[in-house]
Chain A
């Protein structure tokens, strides 16, 4: 410490002192007639340096000087810097973005107090249970507390002018207090609150209420009830579901029919294993107390809601995890390519600076000192690259967060930098520095002292790097191409109905006014008439389910009395009005579709082609009738066969489908969906349709969209996957091409002298070209072979992400990748060869 202050104290005067002192020494020596040997030439400088060094912060000052030197050197080669920075920024930027996306999806903590002690409970394999069951579990005393929510509740909000559906979560009264959900302003819902309270999301508050804090304590008109706003959630509120799901508000569940997903807080010290065992007991008691209900003792689940345990215990998270792991792996490869790029660039630069290094070593520079300087240079480069990368990823992340996904659920991804991202980026930077800096630095120092015959080894290293780069690029490209091809295949697939000329309107009737199917049918009939009268609308129908927005499937025994056979059938169910098939443009293959007079009497159904093929065998479908379930009494008659549609994802296999007519079922659901066919572009019909529905009953929540925009969800997984992977594949190609070009340019440039010799002794330019091209072709061949092998190995597990019919060993992707790589390699070789040929042999001979 004392030395430190002493150094600081004397720093400024040091040099002058030393000068004066040495001058004095010289004078004295001269006076004493050279009785003492004065330093020989040059010694004085050494003395000065050595004495001076004692008093300096040698390491730091050297570092500073190295930095200045490195910056100056880098400024002199802007092409190198640009290439390296672009490489690293893309590599690190893409990685950070994917990393934050993956983290948000997989590890985002729900906003709860001590989330690690909260578990999700599924009884009897049901995701949701009645409040009675929930209370039973709470009263069992196994858990510290039990709460529930239904995360899919539409509420009609009347702001005095318009009524619109907003997305709510219905909760048990103790939800906020027992789970400890943090609130930004006001408070959460308290157990002894009345049912007419509401907690708003930050987004909803800002967007629809202008972020006015005075809203606290005031009432909103929700489903005709005046609900007092008691609290506002923070902007970074994350729901228990995760995945960026952002509902507009939380309110107490007030309808008995609302089913709740059960969440429980474990007692301190209780493990999930113990809790699971205790839950089995509770489930068995449930079966004894409520014998008329579902069977609860089977398929009980108790799962963590956060952290790594959530991934391992919730099965549906698995494929998401695999996809993101894959994505991260692929982006890691991209970063590797970027690093190899920079490494070969620095290597080339290091070789070009061999004379400089040799000179400095000869003048007495320490090897460690030179290494330090080279490392400083590459660190500077990679830190700059990391900074660019982080900036790039921030930019893309905020772009991603802004995108409103065309989904029926409010999804808002909150991608923010957190310590994990920072740690990851720092890790990448260090990795990049070591990969890019150490190797070339070590080589250049070693090479400079070694004689020329080591040059071959240097070439071999660079060639190994080229081969490695080619192999990695091929793997990344292959995956990218595969997913692009997948995207194309998915886009070309038809959902089985017309999405271009149709619209969808979703209606939420206030349950208080529309109590039963009579009221609902009355409304629906009137709405259909008025909608059909809109100019340009050529058809209107009601459907219980519009494909891709919802689905209901049954697994039942169908008994055919005519043959006495019983078939176990699994099928997608829907109930529609007669015009549905015409509006959706679903072809009728046999028989007829529903008519308005299919009301009382015979129950009629329409099935799809797959249903006939799978469950009717050789039986003629039209006129066949079956009983639904072993105890079924009503015969259902098949009156028509239609073409199938997709139901949930565009890539799914064709499923059996069964349609009933709405007039023959209890149509008591307050949620109604209209489908409309338009002769003019459907986007122009959104406004008129909305107006008609609003005029009909202003208290009804209405949402109108073109079919294409409202079923975006179906196209999403393969689209997002395809776009992400395709982008990364293109990125990899770009990086690989840059790197390949750089290395080829350099390796040909190093052979300039050899080429000069060859021309001087009579080689024709054609021979030279052939020689170099064959050389690169060899490299490309070896690299591709290795890459192909690896790609084939990893291709198998990719099959789960692909549309049916597309195999991972898809020859089209393979040949496209190989072709791309070969072309890039050849172009990268061609330029430098031409340049080498243009050089005068004499010049190139004198060069070394």
Chain B
């Protein structure tokens, strides 16, 4: 049971994190995972098993778009970019998340 101390991602928060990571510019899949890992002070780990289905879903929804580019080490990589629609979605999801986490905080503090 000791393993469960490592926090896993809440359902639905992955989209939010991906969109947030893409806010600063286009990234490839691996970089997205890494960004999230680093930004969370190495707490959150995004497994490829969740990442790629999420990316493909977001792409289909039109929140992000993708194109093939060349990576920093000269390899062909698929770069994702947030769209207008994605930014709207991000704003909405971030707001929802803030309200939710505040509410949870309030509950726990009493």
Contacts and interface: CB of A to CB of B under 8 A. Distances in A.
At the interface, is chain B mostly helix, strand, loop or mixed?
A: helix
Interface in B17-69: 28-30, 33-34, 37, 45, 47-49, 52-53, 55-57, 60-62
A797 interface: no
Given A29-B30, A36-B34, A50-B53, A22 B60 contact: no
A22 B62 CA distance: 21
- Counting contact residues on chain A (CB < 8 A from B), the size range is 20 to 34
A38 interface: yes
A700 B47 CA distance: 102
B71 interface: yes
B87 interface: no
A31 B71 CA distance: 13
B22 to A, nearest CB: 16
Interface in A1-55: 2-3, 6-7, 17-18, 20-22, 24-25, 27-29, 31-32, 36-39, 43-44, 46-47, 50-55
Contact of A37 (B47, B61, B73, B76): B47
B85 to A, nearest CB: 11
Contact of B48 (A20, A22, A53): A22
Given A24-B76, A24-B77, A54 B49 contact: no
A36 B34 CA distance: 8
A31 B73 contact: yes
B47 A39 contact: yes
Nearest to A25: B30
Nearest to A6: B60
Nearest to B75: A24
Given A22-B48, A43-B49, A47-B48, A54 B57 contact: yes
Contacts, number: 68
Contacts of B60: 3, 6-7, 54-55
A323 B49 CA distance: 68
Contacts of B61: 3
A54 B29 contact: no
B33 to A, nearest CB: 6
B31 to A, nearest CB: 8
Contacts of B28: 24
A25 B29 contact: yes
B53 to A, nearest CB: 4
Nearest to A21: B78
A21 B29 contact: yes
A55 B60 CA distance: 7
A20 B66 CA distance: 14
Nearest to A46: B49
A702 B34 CA distance: 105
Nearest to B52: A51
Contacts of A25: 29-30, 48, 52
A74 B33 CA distance: 48
A38 B73 CA distance: 20
Given A47-B49, A47-B53, A20 B76 contact: yes
A33 to B, nearest CB: 13
Contact of A47 (B37, B52, B77): B52
Contacts of A17: 78
Contacts of A20: 76, 78
A38 B53 contact: no
Contacts of A53: 53
A6 B29 CA distance: 20
Interface string A59-97: 000000000000000000000000000000000000000
A430 to B, nearest CB: 35
Contacts of B75: 24, 27
- Counting contact residues on chain B (CB < 8 A from A), the size range is 20 to 34
A32 to B, nearest CB: 8
Contacts of B49: 39, 43, 46-47, 50
Given A47-B53, A50-B53, A28 B30 contact: yes
B33 A36 contact: yes
At the interface, is chain A mostly helix, strand, loop or mixed?
A: helix
Contacts of B77: 21, 24
Given A22-B48, A24-B28, A37-B47, A55 B56 contact: yes
Contact of B56 (A2, A28, A39, A51): A51
A38 B45 CA distance: 11
B4 to A, nearest CB: 16
Given A27-B75, A31-B73, A38 B30 contact: no
A7 B59 CA distance: 11
B33 A21 contact: no
Contact of A24 (B30, B33, B45, B56): B30
B71 A24 contact: yes
A3 B56 CA distance: 12
Nearest to A29: B30
Contacts of B52: 18, 21-22, 25, 47, 50-51
A3 B58 CA distance: 11
Given A51-B56, A54-B56, A24 B62 contact: no
A37 B30 CA distance: 12
A36 to B, nearest CB: 6
Contacts of A55: 56, 60
Contact of A54 (B37, B47, B53): B53
Contacts of A54: 53, 56-57, 60
B51 to A, nearest CB: 8
Nearest to A20: B76
Nearest to A2: B62
A128 to B, nearest CB: 77
Contacts of A43: 47-49
Pick the most buried of A7, A17, A44, A51: most chain B CB atoms within 10 A of its CB. Answer: A51
A769 B46 CA distance: 67
A36 B45 contact: yes
A494 to B, nearest CB: 84
Interface in B75-90: 75-78
Given A24-B28, A24-B30, A24-B71, A36 B53 contact: no
A24 B78 contact: yes
A25 B77 CA distance: 9
Contacts of B55: 51
A17 B59 CA distance: 13
A2 B77 CA distance: 25
B54 to A, nearest CB: 9
Contacts of A22: 48, 52
A733 B24 CA distance: 79
A32 B37 CA distance: 13
Nearest to B30: A28
Contacts of A50: 49, 52-53
B49 to A, nearest CB: 5
Nearest to A31: B73
A96 to B, nearest CB: 46
Contacts of B56: 18, 51-52, 54-55
Which 6 pairs, one residue from A and one from B, show the smallest C-beta to C-beta distance? A28-B30, A50-B53, A51-B56, A51-B52, A54-B56, A51-B53
Given A21-B52, A36-B45, A55-B56, 9 more contacts: A2-B62, A24-B71, A24-B78, A36-B33, A36-B34, A39-B47, A44-B48, A50-B53, A51-B52
20 contacts: A2-B62, A20-B78, A21-B77, A22-B52, A24-B28, A24-B30, A24-B77, A24-B78, A25-B52, A32-B34, A36-B37, A37-B47, A39-B48, A43-B49, A47-B48, A51-B53, A53-B53, A54-B53, A54-B56, A55-B56
